[in-house]
Amino acid sequence: MPSPTHESPWRTEEVRAFRNTVRDFIQRELVPQQARWRAQHHPDLDAFAKAGALGLLTPDVSTELGGGGGTFAHEAVVLEELARAGVHFGASVQNIVARYVVTYGSDEQKRNFLPRLGRGELVGAIAMTEPGAGSDLQGIKTTARREGDHYVVDGSKTFITNGWHAGLVCLAVKTDPKAAGPRGISLLLVETSRSLPGYRVGNPLEKVGRHGHDTCELFFEGVRVPAANLLGPAEGKGLFQMMEQLTYERLSVAVAAVATTEEAVAVTIQYAKDRTVSGKPLMELQNTRMVLARCKTEAMIGRHFLDGCIERFLKGQLDPVTAAMAKYWLTERECSIIDDCVQLHGGYGYMNEYPIARMWADSRVERIYAGTNEVMKEMIAWSL
Ligand SMILES: Cc1cc2nc3c(=O)[nH]c(=O)nc-3n(C[C@H](O)[C@H](O)[C@H](O)COP(=O)(O)OP(=O)(O)OC[C@H]3O[C@@H](n4cnc5c(N)ncnc54)[C@H](O)[C@@H]3O)c2cc1C
């Protein structure tokens, strides 16, 4: 009896051809570097330029703005292939920064930043979280004080993905510390470099997983940013912009979660067929068969839910609450299924040289970032 397969409706012939390019690039250029990236705690900077040359960094930005001219289906392919290969590389954050510029940027900001993001000449980062404000973004303390035709930025951010190489930081700041609620928050596009006066990047933080991906603290002390780099036509729009764009980010997390889950199940089925226990294949034990049957079924349910979300997004119809459901439920399933898969690997499941061990450590953060799953459930509950 063949195992059921499912072809997602959004994977058109053209998208499948794009997948071949992406997979080939990841296997050829990124996979061989992973041990070194893990040791140095960040990707190589030139990986961005190489990915950019193939149109993998901003695949759903129009070609006039330096992107790949595709849709979210192309971005989903990049996310899936990176997840399957276990490569944690900042392409997703890069594209999210580009989306902020596409959606809210002035013509000049678009012309200035998007082609460079697309080519990987600038590495993008989103800096919202602070030591004292994560889920509660209204509590941020970083300020941007207007002085003539500049803002002067003071404060710090933590847990910033792509922080080590970041050349364009989409920075959440308080432009009006006295304003009540969300209205005091704005987003600034800060073009950074190690020589920018007052700007400092901390060493990549020591994480539980994703060791090859840089997550850093960023410090701002009197950093001068041109006032023209305010994102959006006026101050006070930042929190609304973030809330709008988080739907895209949460869908992206859900895409990676399902791809990782599918890979974990496939790897474990193979392991269970190859591994002998008490003289017979691990796969012949009833517990193994029951666990894997459940994991495979749940992965398939997740795939169908995700495909529905992608289809709705492509039609411009994905609402924030459904995106929150996808992010919450698919990452919970991912972690639970991978944990079962680790158990079926026995002691080898705890060894970093086995992909399942790295998937276990690498996936845990998906329940925390892009809005914790508790915050997702709050959002869902508010809609009831
Ligand atoms: C590897 C990694 C990469 C990251 N990348 C980025 C990045 O690129 N940019 C960026 O800005 N941030 C990034 N983050 C930060 C991430 O988004 C935050 O960690 C997350 O939003 C949670 O904030 P916090 O850590 O301050 O936890 P807290 O907000 O302090 O939460 C603590 C606990 O309280 C719960 N909680 C909070 N509010 C509620 C509520 N209303 N109802 C119920 N429970 C609640 C949370 O669910 C959690 O369990 C990253 C984090 C990690 C670990």
Angle between the N-to-C axes of helices 91-104 and 72-85, in degrees from 0 to 180, rounded to the nearest 10:
160
Q: Are 174 and 144 in contact (CB under 8 A)?
A: yes
Q: What is the 3-state secondary structure (H, E, C) of 92-115?
A: HHHHHHHHHHHHHCCHHHHHHHHH
Amino acid in the structure at residue 236: G
Predicted local confidence at residue 184, as pLDDT:
94
- Atom of ligand 1 minimally distant from the CA of 127: 11
Radius of gyration of the chain (CA): 21
User: How far is it, in rounded angstroms, from Cα 6 to Cα 108?
Assistant: 44
Question: Coil, strand, or helix at residue 319?
Answer: coil
339: three-class secondary structure by DSSP: helix
Residue 119 CB burial class (10 angstroms; 0-12, 13-18, ≥19) = middle
Token pair for 225: 């940013």
Look at residue 291 in the predicted model and tell me its pLDDT.
Answer: 98
pLDDT of residue 212: 95
Core vs surface per residue 215-253: b (16+ CB within 10 A) or e: bbbbbbeebbbeeebbbbeebbbbbebbeebbbbbbbbb
Ligand 1 proximity of 378 Cβ (cutoff 6 Å)? yes
Query: What pTM does this model have?
Result: 0.97
From the candidates 81, 130, 235, 249, give the one annotated as an active-site residue: 249
Encode burial over 330-363: b for 16+ CB neighbours within 10 A, e otherwise: bbebbbebbebbbebbeeebeeeebbbbbbbbbb
pLDDT of residue 363: 98
pLDDT for 48: 97
3-state secondary structure of 317: coil
Give the per-residue pLDDT at 6: 81
What values do phi and psi take at 140, rounded to 5? Answer: -65, 150
Tokens standing for residue 336: 């639970």
What pLDDT sits at residue 181? 77
Separation CA 288–CA 343 (nearest Å): 10
The answer to whether 81 and 56 are in contact (CB under 8 A) is no
Q: Could you tell me the distance, in angstroms and rounded to a whole number, from the CA of residue 270 to the centre of ligand 1?
A: 35
CA of 238 to the centre of ligand 1 (A): 18
C-alpha of residue 129 to centroid of ligand 1, in Å:
8
What pLDDT does 317 receive? 97
Q: Identify the CA nearest to 302 among candidates 268, 269, 340, 334.
A: 334
Q: Is the CB of 92 under 6 A from ligand 1?
A: no
Which runs of consecutive H residues, i.e. helices, occur in the chain? 13-25, 34-40, 46-53, 72-85, 91-104, 107-119, 238-274, 286-314, 320-344, 355-363, 373-382
Q: What pLDDT does 3 receive?
A: 74
Residue with CA at minimum distance from ligand 1 atom 6: 160
**Ligand 1 pocket member 245 (CB < 6 A):** no
Task: Identify the H or E element spanning 151.
Answer: strand 150-161
Residue 41 Cα to ligand 1 middle (Å): 21
Beta bridge partners of 143: 154, 174
The dihedral sign for the CA sequence 50, 37, 88, 358 = positive
Instruction: Quote the DSSP letter at residue 283.
Output: G
Ligand 1 atom closest to the CA of 213, numbered from 1 = 1
* pLDDT values of the chain reduced to their tens digit, one per residue, 384 residues: 777 778 899 999 999 999 999 999 999 999 999 999 999 999 999 999 999 999 999 999 999 999 999 999 999 999 999 999 999 999 999 999 999 999 999 999 999 999 999 999 999 999 999 999 999 999 999 999 999 999 999 999 999 999 999 999 999 999 998 887 788 999 999 999 989 999 999 999 999 999 999 999 999 999 999 999 999 989 999 999 999 999 999 999 999 999 999 999 999 999 999 999 999 999 999 999 999 999 999 999 999 999 999 999 999 999 999 999 999 999 999 999 999 999 999 999 999 999 999 999 999 999 999 999 999 999 999 999
Q: Which atom of ligand 1 is nearest to the CA of 129?
A: 11
**Would you call 130 a catalytic residue per the annotation?**
no
Cα 224 to chain centroid, rounded: 29
What's the sign of the alpha-carbon dihedral 129, 130, 136, 137? Answer: negative
Q: Which atom of ligand 1 is nearest to the CA of 162?
A: 8
